Amino acid sequence: MEYDNYFPDTDLDLSFTSTTTDRTFTSSSARSSLARSSLTLSFNDRLSTTTTPSNTTTTLNHRRYDPHWTSINAAKTLSSDARIHLRHLKLIRLLGTGNLGRVFLCHLRDCPNSGEFALKVIDRDSLTTKKISNVEIESEILSLLDHPFLPNLYARIDASHYTCVLIDYCSKGDLHTLLRKQPNHRFSISSARFFASEILVALEYLHAIGIVYRDLKPENVLIREDGHIMLSDFDLCFKSDVTPSFKSTPASSLSPSSNRRRLRNHRRGREEMVAEFAAEPVKAYSRSCVGTHEYLAPEIVAGNGHGNGVDWWAFGVFLYEMLYGTTPFKGLNKEQTLHKIVSNDDVAFFEEEGLEEANDLIKMLLVKDSSKRLGCVKGAQDIKRHRFFDGINWPLIRNYKPPEFGKKSKSRDGYVSGLSSSLRRRKWLWLALAKLLRRRSNSKIQSNSNYYRYYVE
C-alpha cells in the first residue's frame, strides 16, 4: 500500500500506522518479536549529546558519484533553502518498528528513479530522555560514517517533534531472518566466512575512528540489494579516542609462506621485525551495561567496565551462531545465559570436517580475559591473519561475489546436497584446475582469486 499523504513540514501529521497493513510490516513485526532485543542499563558515560546540524550530508563521501547522492544533491539544489524536507520524500511502506522509531521505505517525491531510501522516523515526544540521548548518539555516529558496509546518512530532518534520518535501504532483509531460513539455522562455512569478513572490515573501520559498536548480532546486519552487508543500529555505540600506532610484529607471523627470505631468516634465528599500523581504541572505557544478552562479553556482565574487546567477543559469538545455528552461551532464561557467559564451563564445539579453523578462531575470540582475547591489542589485523580467513584478499573484499541463497538445500561445504560423489569430485577437479589456471595468468586475476570462493551454485 502506498503512502500518498503529503507531509507539509509545518504541520506534521505522520499518521503512518493507520494505513499500515502490508506484508512486510507483518513479517517485520513478527521478526522483531522473535529477535533478541538490546538491553540498556546505562551509567551515561557515552557521547555527549551535541545535536548534529540538521540535514547533515557528507559531501566527501566515497560514494558521492552514486546515483542516490546525485539525486539528493539535485533535490537540494532545487529546494528553496538547499535542504531536504519531508515534503521531498514519498513514503512507500513501513519496513519495521524498532526501539526508537519506525523505518519506512521511500524515494524522492519528484524523482521516482532516485533510488530507494530508508527513512527512520523518531517521535521524540514518545521517548524518555535516555532514549532521546540514544537518538542523538545514533545520528552523530551516522554522520561520521563513510564505508561500504555501513549506512550513508543522506539527510537528517528535524521537524516539529520528529527526528528523521534518511539512510540506505537494504532490500534483502536482515541476517537473522536469513539464518533462520537455512537448514538447521546454519550457514555453509563459505557463506559464514563471507559475512564474517565483511563484518570484520566494518568493525575495523568503526574502531579506527574510535567507535565501539556494542550491539553486534545477526538482527543488526542488513543485506543490501547487491548481497553485501550493512551494519545498522548505532544507538548503543560509544566513542573514544584512538591513537594510531605502529607496532612491531615478527615478519614470520605475518605470512611465512609468502616470503622465502623471511622464512629462511626465521629458521636461522634471525627474526625480521615489521612495523604494522594499528588503529584500535585500546583505551576505550565504559561502565554502561548495554548489548544483547547472548552477545554480552563477560566484562560487561561483571560490570567492572569494558572497552573495545566487547566487539571482538561478540564477533566470536556471531561467528559461532552463523555456523552452529545457536549462540554459545544460550541458557533457558536470561539469568542462565549471563551465568554461562561468566562461568568457566566449556563451549560445545562440533568436530565436523572443515570447521577446525572456525572453531580455533572462535576459541581465540571467546577468551574471558579481554587482555588475552584476539583483536584486543592490535585490532582486526590479528583476526584477519587467522587461518580461517586464509586466502582472503582484504582490499578486494567489496568485489567478492556474495553467497546466493536459493531454494535448494546446501550441505555444509556449500555444495547442493544430493550430488553424487563422482559429480562432486569432477566439480572439485574443475575448480582446482580453474584455480591453477588463474594462478598462471596475470596478477590482476590472481589477486582476485577469492572472487569464486563465495559463489554457491
Ligand X SMILES: Nc1ncnc2c1ncn2[C@@H]1O[C@H](COP(=O)(O)OP(=O)(O)OP(=O)(O)O)[C@@H](O)[C@H]1O
Residues found near ligand X in the complex (CB under 6 A): 28, 32, 38, 95-101, 103, 118, 120, 167-170, 174, 222, 232-233, 235
CB 236 → ligand X: shortest distance, Å?
7
Residue nearest to ligand X (CB): 98
Q: Residue 60 corresponds to which cell in the numbers above?
A: 566527501
Which of 225, 352 has the CB closer to ligand X? 225
Which of 98, 298 has the CB closer to ligand X? 98
> Collapsing DSSP states into helix, strand and coil, what is residue 334?
helix
For residue 389, the tally of other CB atoms under 10 A from its CB is 17
Q: Which residue has the cell 556494542?
A: 214
CB 196 → ligand X: shortest distance, Å?
20
Single out the residue of 223, 180, 177, 191 nearest to residue 412, CA to CA: 191
CB 218 → ligand X: shortest distance, Å?
11
Query: In whole angstroms, what is the distance from residue 238 CA to residue 6 CA?
Result: 37
Query: In whole angstroms, what is the distance from residue 317 CA to residue 306 CA?
Result: 17
* Total count of residues recorded for the chain: 457
Single out the residue of 111, 8, 120 nearest to residue 69, CA to CA: 111
- Asked if 215 is an active-site residue, the reply is yes
- Sequence-ordered list of residues with C-beta below 8 angstroms from that of 350, at least 6 positions apart, any chain: 324, 359
Query: In whole angstroms, what is the distance from residue 162 CA to residue 12 CA?
Result: 9
Which of 116, 413 has the CB closer to ligand X? 116
Which of 118, 383 has the CB closer to ligand X? 118
Q: Residue 332 corresponds to which cell in the numbers above?
A: 533457558
Which of 314, 323 has the CB closer to ligand X? 314
Which of 134, 252 has the CB closer to ligand X? 134
CB 131 → ligand X: shortest distance, Å?
9
188 contacts 412 by C-beta, under 8 angstroms: yes
Q: What's the DSSP call for residue 339?
A: H
Write the DSSP string, 64-89: TTSHHHHHHHHHHHHSTTSS--GGGE
CB 164 → ligand X: shortest distance, Å?
12
Which of 234, 324 has the CB closer to ligand X? 234
CB 145 → ligand X: shortest distance, Å?
13
CB 427 → ligand X: shortest distance, Å?
36
- Does an H or E element contain 104, and which? strand 102-108
- Active-site residue, selected from the candidate residues 168, 174, 215, 311: 215
Specify the long-range contacts of residues 356-360, CB closer than 8 Å, at least 24 apart.
357/386, 357/387, 357/388, 357/390, 358/189, 358/192, 358/193, 358/319, 358/323, 358/388, 360/386, 360/387, 360/388
Active site positions, annotated: 215
